[in-house]
């Protein structure tokens, strides 16, 4: 065998060896376990059990709610949920995607959120979409790391076109 051909074979063989030893053997996410946690989270929201909602968030969680400021950290998340005197909650989500790799899982949903504030008439927030990123903690529990939602209701358009 010629030295050049032998060198190429060695490089290819060594590359495949390194590829097999690296992170390409990424731990698969137990999507059933993550799905169970998501179901528990939705049940907590629908029953307006703030303590059960909060236990699903990581200590350094971030919420990006529609039309509000960013909420960072467990204390701020607690204040966010406790400021809402929701009753008669109905969160209906349709999962678009649930996937993940290693210690990260993500879900993409469309949803309708219905609620009452105090004794007022029920309100429907309109269709929305959301993305949640779940992170596996050191103890093996899946916690909500990032929670993002925004409206799917189109914004009013200007009556005249914008020129370039």
Residue 19 forms part of a structural domain = no
What is residue 164's predicted lDDT score, i.e. its pLDDT?
59
Q: Confirm whether 146 is domain-assigned.
A: yes
Range of the domain at 112: 27-151
Give the chain's domain count: 1
CATH code of residue 44 = 3.10.450.50
Interval 60-76: pLDDT, tens: 999 999 889 999 999 99
| CB count in 10 Å sphere of residue 57 | 23
What's the whole-model pTM score?
0.75
pLDDT in tens, 103-120: 999 999 988 888 877 778
User: Alpha-carbon distance 31 to 57, whole Å?
Assistant: 18
């Amino acid at each position: 065998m010629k030295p050049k051909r032998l060198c190429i074979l060695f490089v290819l063989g060594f590359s495949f060896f390194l590829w097999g030893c690296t992170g390409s053997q990424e731990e698969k996410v137990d999507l059933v376990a993550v799905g169970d946690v998501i179901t528990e989270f939705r049940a907590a929201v629908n029953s307006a059990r703030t303590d059960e909602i909060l236990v699903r968030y990581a200590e350094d969680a971030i919420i990006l709610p529609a039309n509000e400021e960013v909420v960072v950290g467990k204390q701020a998340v607690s204040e966010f949920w406790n400021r809402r005197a929701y009753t008669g909650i109905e969160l209906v989500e349709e999962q678009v995607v649930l996937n993940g790799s290693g210690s990260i899982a993500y879900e993409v949903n469309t949803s309708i959120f219905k609620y009452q504030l105090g004794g007022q008439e029920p309100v429907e927030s309109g269709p929305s979409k959301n993305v949640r990123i779940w992170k596996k903690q050191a103890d093996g529990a899946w916690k909500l790391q990032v929670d993002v939602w925004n409206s799917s209701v189109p914004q009013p358009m200007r009556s005249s076109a914008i020129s370039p």
